[in-house]
Structure 1
Amino acid sequence: MVKNISLVRAAYVIDYISVMRDGGAQVEGLLAESLLPTNIEFVPQLFVSFPIALNWVAKAGHEQNPMELGLRASEHVATSSFYSLYQEIVGSTPSGIKRLEALLMAMRQEDRTLKLSVVKSHKSFEIKFNLLHREHRYICFQEWVLLQTIISVMRSIKGQSWCPDAMCFASHIRPPKAVVEKFPGTRILIRCSHTSITILRKDLVDTFGKVGASGLELNAFLPSKVVYREALGGDLVDFVRTLVKPYLGEALFRVETVAEIIGISKRTLQRSLHANDSSYSQILREARFELASDYLSKGSIKITDVAMTLGYQRVQNFSRDFRKQTGMTPSQYRKKNEPAPG
């Protein structure tokens, strides 16, 4: 049985692509040779395999120190992908402990494999992350994204010079001098059993007041739906449907490729889908319908572009299949689902 299959939003991989492209990496050719969707930069809201993304970033950025690459890309994430997705959640909270709580809640929903805990002492709060793939050689890429988002929120209140008391990495890769100089006074530890960031209680008192500094309770977080799957369990159909969505525009995305991404044989995957009353062709139809419905609800996207994004060479074929599924043409569906005028 295959376990520990996890997904990551494509937006985070795109931020790494941007940083590596700026550094001269030939990412287009490397994407074409990988198991990542070649159109990944056009589907930031969709999900891709986390282990495959991690390995690809390591290969594409091999000429850069992983710790330095992770920091540079995480700074990009903190100012773009994360806040473009969750700025309303975090930005709508008052300056105070609730902003940090909202951030952690948003992080847990964005990366639903995360296990979070907060360890309090008389001196500090240590926010700990137990990562699904913490033994991976290049887990520092994920670690930097997690830590930098917290640093960014603290700096939005304390100022851009704020630094944490300590950062712990599960990664075995030693940070270069350029990284250490970015965080004067911060203890940076590697080869740890967990990933964490320590915030001094005095910083919370200065920022949030005495009442706020006694907060930061994880039980205040809203429950989040789990995207982490056991690949051969009852949620296999949902997992595969989520996995195939960014690849729908690629004509030759076959069941063999999905099996390779998951790490099982084609026959095992097909038998497991059948045991769950589904098939690969049915999952493709469902995934196309779900994405088509989402895109058509956004009036700014042309129907022709929707069809091409979903892998149709002719818009007439897309219209025919969509009508079979819904009883309406794409134009009729869009009109029916237009938001009421304000």
Structure 2
Amino acid sequence: MKQCYLLRTSHVQPFIKEMIDIGMPLSSMLHKCKIEEHWLSNPNQLINEPSVWQLLHIPYAREGVVDFGFQVTQRNALTSYGEFGRSLTASSTVYEAIQKFISSMPKQTNAPTFRIQGDKNDLWFIREGIKGLSEGCEQVEQHVIGLMIQTVRLGAGDTWVPPKVRMQTKKLIQGVGRSFLGESDITLGHIHTAIAIPKKILLQPISYTYDFIKTEVNERIIPTEPSMMIHDLMKYGHGSTRFELKACAQQLGVHPRWLQRNLRENNTSFREIATKYRMELAKAHLTDASISITEVALELGYSDQANFWRAFIKYTGVSPTEYRKFIEQS
């Protein structure tokens, strides 16, 4: 069955900034990759990952920037990637940072996970990658290798390079990624991406100066079930389009009919999911007396207040006014 791969916007924003800085026509590029610009404003929003890969391929295809993934990663600290990066810098040792990286990554993408594997002298830090995707995979692999190396550098120092590297790409131009790869022994065309970390480095202490403060935003693992994906798209999105089948299907990178069929096979529907989310959100908004019922209706995408009124009564058994009075009396 087709799998929808999603990525948090916080991992895309540094690339967007770089594209703007080098003067690339961002709007037309996003349109070509079927990415809506408003998706990028919320770092917790979810975006179809293959579309992001396609976007990252454009600087290479159009401008010949062969090391775009390495460049962007080098120019951005780990803390540029939101709570994920900040949590790594709060680790006490390199090994703890690697473990946090692996355990936190499912909250950043629902693509195949990272893992570690040891041999006699080294610990291999491994990423499987997404099978069947090719456009943009080189730039993504560069970015991933850069992130893994930056994680180790928290304790090993800013100039550390892995003694051995395995890359899925079959061709690497000499000098590309030198700041990350240095004199590494590189194997190309490997089944997965990996860097070797000498075991003696694993217990190196991390003394990063960033003051990590856990925010109230509690990122959760990105789901793989379409119904839960839709819920998260509605949660992190804004505007009425987040409640529309076509818009959600576009964000997931699938055809609306495929999405409808999948939901039907799982005994639900887009309308059912959207209605439940909207009504639960409406109930939450109605507890705030400073927000009018008209404003609640508009926030939930109802241009006609009467439609909102009918939907709320059908879902709860009472009108919005009656519900608000009940909450006030409670």
Common fold by TM > 0.5:
yes
Taking the aligned partners of 1:91 and 1:181, their CA distance within structure 2 comes to: 20
The equivalent of 1:167 in structure 2 is 165
- In the alignment, what sits opposite 1:232? none
Amino acid in the other structure paired with 1:103:
F
Query: What do residues 10-35 of structure 1 show as CA deviations (whole Å, max 9, x unaligned)?
Result: 22222211111111111023324542
Distance (Å, rounded) in 1 between the aligned partners of 2:202 and 2:159: 15
The residue aligned with 1:227 is 223
CA shift, 1:311, in A, is 5.2
- Once the two structures are superposed, residues 205-264 of structure 1 have per-residue CA deviations (whole angstroms, 9 ceiling, x without a partner) of 6x26xxxxxxxxxxxxxxx85623xxxxxx332233334656653649853455566566
Contact persistence 1:67–1:174 (CA under 8 A): no
Aligned to 2:3: 4
Q: What is the identity, as a one-letter code, of the residue corresponding to 1:145?
A: H
Partner of 1:204: 202
| Matching residue's letter, 2:78 | T
Distance in 2 (alpha carbons) for counterparts of 1:122 and 1:170: 23
Q: Do the aligned partners of residues 135 and 276 (structure 1) sit closer, same or farther apart at CA in structure 2, a change above 3 Å counting?
A: closer
Task: Give 1:14's aligned residue.
Answer: 13
Distance in 1, matches of 2:156 and 2:294, equals 48
Q: Are the equivalent residues in 2 in contact too, given 1:19–1:72 (CA < 8 A)?
A: no
The answer for the alignment partner of 1:218 in structure 2 is none
Give the Cα separation in 2 of the matches to 1:54 and 1:293. Answer: 38
Cα distance change on mapping 1:200 and 1:96 into 2, 3 Å: closer
Match of 1:284 among 236, 249, 274: 274
Gaps of 5+ in 1: 209-223, 229-234, 298-302, 337-342
- Corresponding residue for residue 221 of structure 1: none
Corresponding residue for residue 24 of structure 1: 23
Please report the TM-score for the alignment, with normalisation by the length of structure 1: 0.70
Q: Report the Cα distance in structure 2 between the residues aligned to 1:203 and 1:51, rounded to whole angstroms.
A: 35
User: Mapping of 1:1-342 within 5 angstroms?
Assistant: 2-59=1-58, 62-65=61-64, 67-75=66-74, 78-82=77-81, 84-87=82-85, 89-133=87-131, 135-175=133-173, 177-204=175-202, 207=204, 225=221, 227-228=223-224, 235-243=225-233, 249=239, 251=241, 255-256=245-246, 258-259=248-249, 266-288=256-278
Q: Evaluate the alpha carbon distance shift between residue 199 and residue 310 of structure 1 in structure 2; reply closer, same or farther with a 3 A threshold.
A: farther
Hey, what does 1:211 align to over in structure 2?
none
- Supply the distance in 2 between the matched residues of 1:294 and 1:75 (Cα, whole angstroms): 43
Give identity over the alignment, percent: 19
Where 1:118 maps in the other structure, the secondary structure is strand
Report the CA distance between 1:147 and its aligned residue.
2.4
Structure 2 partner of 1:300: none
Cα distance, 1:323 vs structure 2: 6.6
The structure-2 alpha-carbon separation of the partners of 1:57 and 1:96, relative to structure 1 and needing over 3 Å to count, comes to closer
TM-score, length-normalised on structure 2?
0.72
Alpha-carbon distance in 1 for matches of 2:300, 2:57: 29
Using the alignment, how far apart are the partners of 2:28 and 2:178 within structure 1? 33
> In structure 2, the residue corresponding to 1:177 is in which secondary structure?
coil
> Are the aligned partners of 1:167 and 1:197 in contact in 2 as well (CA < 8 Å)?
yes
**Is this contact kept in 2: 1:165–1:185, CA < 8 A?**
yes
Amino acid at match of 1:241: H
Letter in 1 for 2:266: N
RMSD, aligned CA? 4.4
Distance 1:34 1:296 in 2: 38
Kept in 2, the 8 Å contact 1:67–1:173? The answer is no
Query: Which segments of 5 or more consecutive residues in structure 2 lack a partner in the other structure?
Result: 206-219, 288-292
1:41 shift after superposition: 2.3
Report the residue type matching 2:25 in the other structure: Q
Which residue of structure 2 lines up, in the alignment, with residue 219 of structure 1? none
Deviations 1:50-81 (A, max 9, x none): 11221133236533446511112233564344
Distance 2:32 2:283 in 1: 31
